[in-house]
Amino acid sequence: MESKYASKHQAKCMDACRPRGPATIARGSRQGRMVLVAALVGAYLSTVNVSFAQVVGACCDQAPFGGCSQTTAEECTCSNCVWSEGQSCSAIECVHTAIPTVSEWGLVVLTLSLVIGGKIFFGRRRRAVGHAPT
């Protein structure tokens, strides 16, 4: 008789991984008691209005001009935001992304290259024909 599974291992895994309800679990077994307790707790929680307090924390926007605000994790949704649970904005260091700038030595090199380039460009100008040098 051919199995509908490709191998014995796959058939064994599929049988072991098959979901089992309370009716298929042997009475008195540990797994049966766990399923029963889970079903009872789920039924109890569905009848009781349980509300959990949302945890407030610091939402730090790490964009170059971003700020920090006290909020919940669900409200801290920007792409550059980092949320710290139970922290205040004054207690954390909100590091922002640096804006790339040119250092002092970079400005010196840029100035020298512009001066040299200007000298080469303007130094190669030809004088107009027909004018006498003075």
Tokens matching residue 116 = 């040299």
* 30: helix, strand or coil: helix
Which stretch of DSSP H or E encloses residue 43? helix 30-47
pLDDT digits (tens, 9 = 90+) for 34-54: 666 777 766 666 665 545 567
Distance CA 19, CA 23 (A): 11
- Candidate ranges 1-15, 37-51, 57-71; pick with highest mean pLDDT: 57-71
What does the mean pLDDT of the chain come to?
A: 75
pLDDT at 107: 94
pLDDT at 132: 60
Any idea of the CA torsion for 119, 124, 129, 134, to the nearest 10 degrees?
A: 40
Per the CB < 8 A criterion, the answer to whether 32 and 25 are in contact is: yes
Tokens matching residue 42 = 């789920």
